[in-house]
Structure formats: C-alpha cells, structure tokens
Structure 1
Amino acid sequence: MNAHHGPDTAPLIRSDAQGVATLTLNRPQTRNPLSEATLMALSEHFSAIAEDRTVKAVVLAAEGPVFCAGHDLKEMTAHRGDEDRGRAYFEAILGLCSAVMQQIPALPQPVIAAVEGTATAAGCQLVASCDLAVAGEKAQFCTPGVHIGLFCSTPMVALSRNLSAKHAMEMLLLGEMVPAAEAARMGLVNRVVPADGALAEAQRLAAVIASKAPATVKVGKRAFYEQREMGLKSAYDHASAVMVENMLAREAEEGIGAFIQKRAPVWEG
C-alpha cells in the first residue's frame, strides 16, 4: 500500500497473511467504481504481486454493500465537454481497464473474487476475469449497459469466456440482475456461501492453493489460458510440451517421488 494514502483515502487496500494477498476495493460511499484512481491502484498492486515470491494466491474483495458498480460514469461524462467530446479520455480509460482485466489471467498467482452485494457492468467483468469466484447468497450480478444505451461490450469479453454463449447473451441483452445461485449455475461463480461468508471462503480456497508448489501452479495457470485460445491440436501440442518441462522440474520430481514413497512432499520456496 502506498504510504502516503491513509486507509480512508486509498481506493484499494492490500493486506497479506500466510502467502495470501487480499486486495479490498475501498470506496464504498461511491459503490466502489472502477474509477481512474482505482484502476491505477489495481494495476500497480497486480504488477507488484506478480514479482512478489511470498504471495501464492490473491483474494479480491470490497468494502460496503456493493462489490463494484463498474465504470465511474460521472467521471467519464465530465469529459463530454472536451474538444473531442471525450473520445481520447474514453479510449484511455477503456484501454486502462482492459489492461487491468488482462493482468489478472497473466498474474502467476491465482486470483479469487469474494463477492457480497452487487457486481455490475465492469464490476461483473472484474469477477469474470478472476480465476475463481465465491459469492455470498445475497450477491447479484448484472451487465445493465443495454438499459442506458451503452452495451457492455468490454465486459462481454470476460463474460463470454466464462459462460456458455446463451447465458452470456442473456445477461448482455436483458441486463437483468442475476442472483448468486443462478450465477453459480451459469458458471460465473464457483460457489455460493451464506451472506457475509464470501471473504472467509475465498481466503480458505486461497490457503489451499497457497499450500501447493508455487511453480507448478504458475505453470498450470499460464498453460490454461494459453491453450484456451488455441485449436484442439495446437492446444494438445502446447499442453504436452508444457507437461514435459513440468515433468523435468524439481517440484514434479519431488511430488511424484513423495507419492510413490507414500510421504508428504516438501516444496521449495
């Protein structure tokens, strides 16, 4: 956390424990929008975590009754008075947001969203961009752009890579609130827990991941996203090549050796 920000002013707070970094959106009074300041903070924290060998998993949470309301429309609308009617600013803020969303799958460590309240528009995109997601039973998800003449085209990228085509189109075309249980059925979240229990469950999952060999998790996460963009044969060729390298790595030698010898593996660093 930047030292010059107090806990009341920082748009994002980081706390670390047992190899898990928890990032908490901290603008509850404005519904935790993905403002320029928040996006910059997310980007900086993700860049730092990517280089931090002590962090094995990341939890993304939020203060207050709304997880994330998406783009700061007031901030964006303020630039309509610019000479270009805001074009340059809109391009910059959407470029920044898209870059942050891509940092999540690119991060070596798995990222788990802990969602209470509503996650709408780019806030829903943020949840879809995470590797795993846990929702409190009162959480709701929505891509409501269609109601205000601004179709959720960038959230669509993450949504369409998580949900079946029909489910993604249903959310995008109707713009209706999807309750937590339905979001789990659609595949937007992994599991639903009692209200106010999402953070604890996300941190529990993060602790399980943190107990695994970190280099193995890093290799696997990267290969997952790489192969998903490929055709079937290319995906198998790539995954096989990754697995050969993995088989020759010290962690696999130790893990497989421990399995055969019926003992617990000892992971390095």
Structure 2
Amino acid sequence: MAEIVSFRKDNNNSGEGALVLRQLSDGILRLTLNNPPANALNISVMETLMGELQGAADDKDVRIVVIASTGNVFSAGHDLKELTAHRADEDDGVAFFEETFALAADLMLEISRLPKPVIAEIDGLATAAGCQLVASCDLAICTDTSTFCTPGVNIGLFCSTPAVAVSRAAHRKQAMEMLLTGETIDASTAKDFGLVNRIVPKQYLTQVVSKYASVIASKSPEALRIGKEAFYKQLEMPVAEAYDYAASVMVDGMLTGDAQEGIGAFLGKRTPEWKGE
C-alpha cells in the first residue's frame, strides 16, 4: 500500500481530530470530510484526501470509495481566507495560488484515475471546488435538500477549474448556466443537469449509498479497474477511434482470469469467485 499522509487539525491522534475520517468495512472505504463548518478544501484537507486515495489504489481490501462529509455543508470549495492571507506574500500570493489550484486539479484527476469507483455522498451545499469534487466522482447521490453552485462570478473570480469537471458531468449549456449566473440550483435541477445520479430523503442517504457501493463492490475488481480506465479514455476520442480502442480493451478483458471465472460461473449457474486478476 502507498504511504498515507495524515494531517490533523490538532496534535492529538484521535479520530475526531482528523481532517478526513476513514472507515473501511466490507470493501467500502468511506472518506468523510471533517473540516467544519464549511468543509473547505484547504491545502491540508486536499493533501489528506489525496493521500487516502493514493493509499486506496493499491489496497486490495478496498473495492470502492465513498466521499462524504460531516455537518450541513458537503464542501464550500477552496478556503478563501487561506487564499487571501497569502496576498501578503512577496509575490502577492502567486506561488500559493498556483500550488492550491494545481493540487485541486491533481486531486480531481486522482479520483478519475483511481482504479476503483468513487461515489460522492452529498448532504448539503456543494459549491465551487466542492461542486467540482462532486462532478469528478464516478457517481453522485444526494439528499433532496442538497444544493449546488459555481458562484465564482459573484466574487469576481470565474470558476475555471470547477468548470473542467462540471462541463464533463453536466450538459454544456447547463454547465455554462451555472458558471455564468453563479446561482444555486436544487437537487432536482442538479439531477436534470446531470450532476447527480439519484436524490433520496436525508434519513436514507447513507443506506442508499451503501447499497450502491455494496452492489458495485461485489463485481470483479479487475473488470471495474479496466472498465473505469477505458470509460474515461474513450470519452476523449472520436467515435471510430473509441470503438477501436474499446474493442481492444474487450479482447484484453476476455483474457483476464476474472472474465474466465465470471463466464464459467454464468454458464455453470454458480456464483463467481473473483481473484482480481
């Protein structure tokens, strides 16, 4: 397993003090943002989350990742107070701004490149880079009271990096509507736009997400790894090229031990035993 970087809000080692809470059960790794009140994605939070994801990549005990949050805000995005404080730096904050936005980009790419599915579990507001985080996950399930926005234009700063993920999750014109107006949309609108998969009552959120996660975790880990990588790669290709690439992936997939086991189990009417190879 890759080394997991652990940052704390204080010097103790209690779970309650962790910026990202970690819980692993039945192959489901739950990473919970714990930076109240806004769960801002400051440098420490992003580094901690990045470390956890990197550790999960090679951990055979992890089959799927859920990103959730504590409190009433899923994430308010970047920490504006932290960013503003660095305007006093000799370079007017340029180096720190570059570090922050580059780290955010690396974090979002880490999610899409992770060889395991990632589900966003949203209860509350997801704004700016918080909305970017939602859009970067493979699946997103939210409560009926959750809200979403990319409000950079309201403070004179267009949400350019959130736009990368949002424009790939939502339909183009709806993404531009969010980015140009900065207005908050409700859960139903977010589903219509394509930002979330399902909306559930608050009391059932964790239950529904856990059900989805359990179903996915029961599948071949090798098939999930190959399939997720291929899905994102083919999206960037012309259709003909995408079919050629996908066909080659199917051939490689047929040669895996899990495909042989899965097809044999299907034909033999038995439950497959995945080896992850």
Check whether TM > 0.5: yes
* Closer, same or farther: CA 163–214 of 1 in aligned 2, 3 Å: same
> 2:252 maps to what in 1?
245
Compute the displacement of 1:263 (Å): 2.3
Residues 28 and 65 in structure 1, CA contact (< 8 A), matched pair in contact too: no
Gaps of 5+ in 2: none
Compute the displacement of 1:9 (Å): 2.4
CA distance in 2, matches of 1:82, 1:181: 43
CA distance in 1, matches of 2:212, 2:28: 10
CA distance in 2, matches of 1:34, 1:145: 15
* Map 1:100-139 → 2, pairs under 5 A: 100-139=107-146
CA distance in 2, matches of 1:167, 1:187: 9
Compute the displacement of 1:264 (Å): 2.1
* Map 1:132-211 → 2, pairs under 5 A: 132-211=139-218
Residues 120 and 141 in structure 1, CA contact (< 8 A), matched pair in contact too: yes
> 1:263 maps to what in 2?
270
Aligned equivalent of 2:221, options 209, 214, 220: 214
Compute the displacement of 1:203 (Å): 1.6
- Look up the equivalent residue of 1:266 and give its one-letter code: E
1:22 alignment partner, SS class: strand
Aligned equivalent of 2:17, options 9, 12, 20: 9
**Identity rate, percent:** 50
Aligned equivalent of 2:232, options 204, 220, 225: 225
Residues 133 and 190 in structure 1, CA contact (< 8 A), matched pair in contact too: yes
Residues 227 and 239 in structure 1, CA contact (< 8 A), matched pair in contact too: yes
Corresponding residue pairs, total: 268
Compute the displacement of 1:233 (Å): 1.5
2:17 alignment partner, SS class: coil
Q: Per chain length, whose mean CA-contact separation is higher, i.e. which structure has more relative contact order (CA < 8 Å, sep 6+)?
A: 1
Residues 115 and 199 in structure 1, CA contact (< 8 A), matched pair in contact too: no
> 1:59 maps to what in 2?
66
Compute the displacement of 1:185 (Å): 1.3
CA distance in 1, matches of 2:269, 2:54: 39
> 2:34 maps to what in 1?
26
- Look up the equivalent residue of 1:20 and give its one-letter code: I
CA distance in 2, matches of 1:33, 1:199: 22
- Look up the equivalent residue of 1:181 and give its one-letter code: S
TM-score, normalisation: structure 2: 0.94
CA distance in 2, matches of 1:196, 1:80: 43
> 1:40 maps to what in 2?
47
CA distance in 2, matches of 1:78, 1:5: 28
* Structural RMSD (CA): 1.3
Deviations 1:76-101 (A, max 9, x none): 00000111111111001101110001
Deviations 1:207-242 (A, max 9, x none): 111100111111100100111111112111111111
Compute the displacement of 1:5 (Å): 3.3
CA distance in 2, matches of 1:8, 1:258: 44
1:24 alignment partner, SS class: strand
Residues 116 and 196 in structure 1, CA contact (< 8 A), matched pair in contact too: no
Does residue 80 of structure 1 match 2:94? no
1:32 alignment partner, SS class: coil
CA distance in 1, matches of 2:104, 2:259: 37
